[in-house]
Amino acid sequence: MTETRFTPRVFSGIQPSGGLTLGNYLGAMKRFVDMQGSDFETIFCMVDLHAITVWQDPADLTRNTRELCAGFIAAGIDPEQSILFNQSQVPEHAQLAWIFNCVARMGWMQRMTQWKDKAGKNQQNASLGLFAYPALMAADILIYHATHVPVGEDQKQHLELTRDIAIKFNHDFGVNFFPETEPVIEGAATRVMSLRDGSKKMSKSDPSDMSRINMTDDADAIAKKIRKAKTDPDALPSEAKGLDDRPEARNLVNIYAALSDSSVENVLADVGGKQFGEFKPMLAELAVEKLSPISTEMARLMNDQSEIDRILARGAERARGIAAPILRRAYEIVGMVGAG
């Protein structure tokens, strides 16, 4: 159904909720670049409406949004070939999200692990927006009838919810209007873990800066963070099976494999038997080699904010060209007067 009726189209977003991390780069952005220029139309978004589901200092939000745009371009997203914009400038996202708030069920939302993780023990004090986050995310995707969404492993559950919302909308209104979007979760680093705790995802909002590598970190900071990364005392195994029950070792090998466009098996064939004292400097050198051209270009782009703002405004205009007719049709299906 999806294959025949809907244009192959990729949508994905990143929150300007802090600086970009190595997890965002390997799990999301690097893979966006791989999909650009393939058989898909590609749409990428700085999801500022998502970011404010937890407190953001306004000046930081502004800066982080521009820096994220610079990150997309520095990593290889071409704003001509892809559509690149910030979410708040395409109001159709929030408008469709309201309809989806009325389609999604409380029970579905309460099961979301991101909600449980981010709200923590104090759910009563979390924002309503944080609870509704996945319905807005479904709207981000479905307002473009996107067929494929490249994301990290942590977003798998939200993609399943997106499909549930599309199916329920189609069923409730007796239409075949929204596609059943496919998540694309691929590669060696779909879940990069914290450098301090192998059971926790690396996140830009983690309070500990030592837990992550930021795209803007310099060579010394990267080397220091990798040197101090938590590991175990054993040497590296020669086969992937040997990483079972060694989450920190697995994480560093996954990062190495993803940065070098290789597989865990190939990396271990080379480095099996080495101690971390030898492997960590290799990893640091590789990370600096791959990340420093991106951070240098980000800094260069950040010198011309009016150019960044111009790119975002142009992207929003192009995005609205796709989103507006889809919203109008959704309103019409729901029965709203004036939408037809």
Q: Which residues are catalytic, by number? A: 118, 201, 204
| Minimum gap (Å) between residue 46 Cβ and ligand ATP | 9
Candidate residues 9, 11, 17, 32; the one interacting with ligand ATP per rule CB under 6 A: 17
Quote the least distance from Cβ 70 to ligand ATP, whole Å.
16
For the bound state, the minimum distance from the C-beta of residue 23 to ligand ATP, rounded and expressed in Å, comes to 3
CA-based nearest residue to 275, from 303, 235, 319, 309? 235
By CB under 6 A, tell whether 14 contacts ligand ATP.
yes
Stretch of 16-24, 123-131, 224-232, 265-273 lying at the interface with ligand ATP (CB under 6 A): 16-24
Place of tokens 């960044």: 308
Residue of 9, 10, 19, 21 interacting with ligand ATP (CB under 6 A): 21
* Residues contacting ligand ATP: total by CB under 6 A: 21
Q: To the nearest whole angstrom, how small is the minimum distance from the Cβ of residue 275 to ligand ATP?
A: 26
Token output for 173:
């209104």
Residue 205: count of CB within 10 angstroms of its CB? 13
The strand pairing partners of 149, in sequence order, are: 183
Q: How far apart are CA 292 and CA 283, in angstroms?
A: 14
**By the rule CB under 6 A, 28 interacts with ligand ATP:** yes
By CB under 6 A, tell whether 148 contacts ligand ATP: no
Distances (CA, A) of 329 to 5, 187, 269: 16, 37, 55
Q: Is 63 in the site for ligand ATP (CB under 6 A)?
A: no
Among 65, 155, 181, 295, binds ligand ATP (CB under 6 A): 155
Q: How many CB atoms lie within 10 A of CB 8?
A: 13
**Per-residue exposure over 85-102, b if at least 16 CB sit within 10 Å of its own CB, e if not:** bbbbbbebbebbbebbbe
Q: Which stretch binds ligand ATP (CB under 6 A): 9-17, 121-129, 173-181, 312-320?
A: 9-17
- H or E element at residue 183: strand 182-184
205 binds ligand ATP (CB under 6 A): yes
C-alpha Rg value of the chain to the nearest Å:
21
Among 203, 211, 214, 251, binds ligand ATP (CB under 6 A): 203
Torsion region of 12: left, alpha or beta (phi above 0 gives left; psi -120 to 50 gives alpha)? beta
- The smaller minimum CB distance to ligand ATP, of residues 163 and 201, is found at 201
Q: How far is CA 327 from CA 2, 102, 283, 312, 336, in A?
A: 19, 15, 47, 21, 11
Nearest to 197 by CA among 151, 247, 154: 247
Q: 186 vs 332, which CB is nearer to ligand ATP?
A: 186
Instruction: Please check whether residue 3 is in contact with residue 164, taking contact to mean a CB–CB distance below 8 angstroms.
Output: no
* Binding piece for ligand ATP, criterion CB under 6 A, among 200-208, 301-309, 319-327, 332-340: 200-208
Of 78-86, 150-158, 226-234, 272-280, the window that binds ligand ATP (rule: CB under 6 A) is 150-158
Are 307 and 73 contacting, i.e. CB atoms less than 8 angstroms apart?
no
| Angle formed by the axes of helices 305-334 and 92-103, nearest 10° | 40
Residue 24 binds ligand ATP (CB under 6 A): yes
Part in contact with ligand ATP (CB under 6 A); list of ranges 173-181, 199-207, 227-235, 325-333:
199-207
Work out how close the CB of 244 gets to ligand ATP at its nearest, in angstroms, rounded to a whole number. 20
Q: With binding defined as CB under 6 A, does residue 201 bind ligand ATP? A: yes
198 interacts with ligand ATP by CB under 6 A: no
> What residues line the site for ligand ATP (CB under 6 A)?
14-15, 17-18, 21, 23-24, 27-28, 151-152, 154-155, 190-192, 201-205
